[in-house]
């Protein structure tokens, strides 16, 4: 699991450098999802149902993860930055491009057994100069 989390930290950093920072980027294990993780993200450069952003993140995951790591991911969930679940996590954790492990929390209207929060901050890092 640590290798997957390390890869996601690097992937989140690369996406942030290319597209702009995240308000939230995390890996969640829902109570009702046996060993299948959700990648949950919020950023100012997309909204919850942004197909282009979803496709971009999915492509990045496919390019950077092994098959066994990919099958451990159930879904990618894009949420709006004003979602109360995003704010709840931001109150619990402040981190950027790192890892904070959380156990047994209730956010986004569901019980999260286990989470790795990679980025959780109120204001994302601006897009790097020279990035497109």
pLDDT one-digit tens code per residue, 122-131? 875 566 544 4
Look up the pTM and report it: 0.90
- Expressed as residue numbers, the domain containing 92 is 2-120
- Confirm whether 130 is domain-assigned: no
Kindly state whether residue 59 falls inside one of the protein's structural domains: yes
Q: Is residue 127 part of a domain?
A: no
Confidence class for position 113, pLDDT limits 50, 70, 90: very high
The answer to whether residue 94 is domain-embedded is: yes
Q: Is residue 128, in this structure, part of any structural domain at all?
A: no
> What CA–CA distance (Å, rounded) separates 24 from 33?
21
Residue 129 covered by a domain: no
Number of domains the chain is built from = 1
When the pLDDT of each residue in the chain is averaged and rounded to a whole number, the result is 92
């Amino acid at each position: 699991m640590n290798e997957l989390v390390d890869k996601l930290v690097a992937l989140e950093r690369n996406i942030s450098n290319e597209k702009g920072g995240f308000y939230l980027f995390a890996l969640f294990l829902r109570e009702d999802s046996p060993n299948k993780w959700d990648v949950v993200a919020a950023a100012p450069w997309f909204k919850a149902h942004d197909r282009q952003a979803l496709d971009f993140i999915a492509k990045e995951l496919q390019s950077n993860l092994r098959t066994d790591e990919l099958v451990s991911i159930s879904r990618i969930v894009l949420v709006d930055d004003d979602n109360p679940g995003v704010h709840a996590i931001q109150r619990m954790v402040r981190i950027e491009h790192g890892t904070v492990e959380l156990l047994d929390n209730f956010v986004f209207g569901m019980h999260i057994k286990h989470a790795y929060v990679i980025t959780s901050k109120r204001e994302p890092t601006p897009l790097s100069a020279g990035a497109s």
